[in-house]
Structure 1
């Protein structure tokens, strides 16, 4: 047994994935403003965002369909009408990983919403589950960002390649995503989550001590205070 669960995979990938989404949204805002109109053609592996003179294109990979009716997630590789498209190929890595690491939900065709944990207050369950799926996909496949498009009441989770170039993550952005991840209940093991993030951003330096960890780069530092149970008690910044 690997000991991995959906909760742990989300824990491990949440900060890195959320940093990527923050930077993606900033890039889209800079180019498109508030315009989030889209045209997606999975048969030709194309996604275009924006309907005016300014547009953003990317190659979409279908990860999953998140359907509120049956309250289930169906992985891209298991969608009968789409499973053979090249755009679903990356979703097969989730299946292979799940079966190799004995994480049944990743190796099953369809998974109930309940497997992804309760949505925070004020967040629609279908949107919450879609974000959880995006984080899982980025962590397992090792690429960011994800993007969610509506199809009626259903949400379609895509992993994007060859999209807008994302700038390197900024240490100050941790002050946004870390509290958000904690408030949403995504981090069941904060020290482990921080270690995984640091593994993704090698130019950040970490000093661990009894009181927590100091993360620094040339712009300054962030102190994350942890109690004896590994829970975050305070976040301080000097940036």
Structure 2
């Protein structure tokens, strides 16, 4: 059985586009409903009881709380997990909807394969964030402390740990080089070493690794 989805967005074209792309993705996903405002979203989640709700953070209706209000109002729906999908990457939007109970937050610039992966991760109980947004959540919830007892982290040198944290936050290689006053080639070398030592394939996996361990 596929993952049952509700798509919540106040723009009909966005809902239609997301639906079409997901249905054409070939993934085991079933869109069972849609909603365009807070009241409709809360009703749909309670009535349809989907596995995952794709949730825009800015929605009309309700008490003005948007997506965060929807997530908080559906906390009693067993098995339901929210994945915020928004054009906004503002820290206050990210933190508000995560505090309300969402399991992840991705922006609408995400590719369809990455969105499908994020849905699958959230459905399985894991978290999913666009790279730059993970740092907002870690900072807001006070989880920026390094897990010093983590054996995997101990595999990395001090410089590799610095590079890893910045890459996990979504910095480009150029931005990391500027931040640490090293060359881009040196950054590339450190990233390759980090991925090899942690047995990861790419920076998206690195971000997820860091988020799960509260390391950024």
Coarse TM-score class (shorter-chain normalised)? under 0.3
When normalised by structure 1's length, the TM-score is: 0.25
More strand by share: 1
More helix by share: 2
